[in-house]
Amino acid sequence: MKTIYMDHVATNPLHPEVLDAMMPYFREIFGNPQSIYEPGIRAKEAVENARAGTAALINAKPKEIIFTSSGAEANNFAVKGIAYASRNKGTHVIVSKIEHHSVLNPARFLEKSGFAVTYIPVDKYGTVDPDDVKKAITKETILISIIHASPEIGTIQPVEEIGRIAGEKGIVFHVDAVASAGNIPVDVRSMNIDLLTFAAHQFYGPKGAGALYVKEGTRIVPLIYGGIQEGGRRAGTENVPAIVGMGRAAEIAKRDMQKRIEHVRPLRDRLIDSVLKIERVTLTGHPEKRLPGHASFVVEYIEGEAMLLLLAGKGIYSASGSACSSKALKASPVLISIGIPAHLAQGSVVFTLGEGTTGEDIDYFNETFPQVISRLREISPYAKGWEGAEDPTCTVKK
């Protein structure tokens, strides 16, 4: 069976050039970058080379890049590291309501540790109003953390404007750019960003490689204490092959970015146009200001996980934010934040395209998806409307 991968926001395959770049660092040049003999020196050179490539992707200086194990680690590091480094200055943190769990959960941890956190709401497209951020700032505010692009609804935030506001007030501004960096232009200088999280596997690099950009002169407390790696800010023997992979993937992403955007965007638009012809289906997220390969919907009267399973049975791999598709059995907080009622959030489905997506894939998808929806609507008691579904009390027994 032909398989079509439409979950590029979950992860990506390695770019072949990235794999080639990584290979020597598993067996030949396996030295510890901290060692002073030849294999160590060569590993160190590779790490520093990768740092330069990674920095260039976001217009940072190499010394402003700290390699981590993942985007989640970099987000934790940013939120906790800035809060603890600045707690003499203030104890207030601002985040949006649609942050990734790796920002929201450290923020909740801070709340338990004596910090105050303001959660900025979003509009129906999932956009943060910079004015709301401005109004939330107090004398105590030490950190503003906003996600650049939402993996669930694709919406891109006005980070440049928020960065300007933070800069004027002298507040550290962190951006979670995991879903955006490597896929759309990110420039930490022009966007007034002090810290930025990104992850290699989002742009055809390896899993297990992330980075936190920390602007020169910004004070941050380590998350992982130990040796002197990464300038003493992130201990642990460097994951040399993964770091090399991230550096190479960043170089390729910078080189091919425009080409990639021009490849996925028309395919994505064709998918959206086709899906919106189906009755009772709505696009979630911003119609224009969204990731170029990202399409997300709510389909009424049916449930997301069931859609994913039937699509997977037809070789199409995708994602959902429905309660049933989450292990916690809770509807996606992002969908709830943009005002989608819980019963509609159940019909959430997300398709993200990539380098390998073809026009034929989209044709096949556009033919298959309506069949999947009809099939499930035939089974649904609500196929003719939501009558009798208004009861807001939850009776699920677990």
Partner 1 sequence: MYSEKVMDHFTNPRNVGEMPDADGVGTEGNPVCGDVMKIFIKVRDDRITDVKFQTFGCGAAIAVSSMVTEMAKGMTLDEAMKITKSSLADALDGLPPQKMHCSNLGADALHKAIEDYRKKQGK
Where along the sequence are the contacts to partner 1 (CB under 8 A)?
301-306, 309-310, 313, 322-325, 327, 329, 341-343, 346, 378-382, 386, 388-389, 391-398
How near is the Cβ of 274 to partner 1 at its closest, in Å? 24
**3-class secondary-structure state, position 155:** strand
Considering the complex, state which of residue 149 and residue 331 has its C-beta at the smaller distance from partner 1: 331
The residue behind tokens 């289906």 is 281
Q: In what order do the strands lie in the sheet with 281-283?
A: 281-283, 294-299, 348-352
Considering the complex, state which of residue 4 and residue 340 has its C-beta at the smaller distance from partner 1: 340
How near is the Cβ of 333 to partner 1 at its closest, in Å? 15
Considering the complex, state which of residue 196 and residue 311 has its C-beta at the smaller distance from partner 1: 311
CA 98 to CA 132: how far, in whole Å?
14
Contact 324, 305 (CB under 8 A): yes
How near is the Cβ of 339 to partner 1 at its closest, in Å? 15
Contact 292, 183 (CB under 8 A): yes
CA 56 to CA 236: how far, in whole Å?
24
Dihedral, CA of residue 320, residue 285, residue 384 and residue 389, to nearest 10: 70
Residue 170: partners with Cβ closer than 8 Å, 6 or more residues away: none
How near is the Cβ of 392 to partner 1 at its closest, in Å? 6
Question: In 10 A of CB 219, how many CB atoms?
Answer: 12
Tell me which residues are annotated as active site: 324
How near is the Cβ of 172 to partner 1 at its closest, in Å? 38
Considering the complex, state which of residue 212 and residue 306 has its C-beta at the smaller distance from partner 1: 306
Helix axes 38-57, 240-275, angle to 10 degrees: 30
Segment (H or E) for 383: none
Considering the complex, state which of residue 237 and residue 380 has its C-beta at the smaller distance from partner 1: 380
Considering the complex, state which of residue 290 and residue 343 has its C-beta at the smaller distance from partner 1: 343
Contact 247, 54 (CB under 8 A): yes
CA 310 to CA 312: how far, in whole Å?
5
CA 263 to CA 304: how far, in whole Å?
27
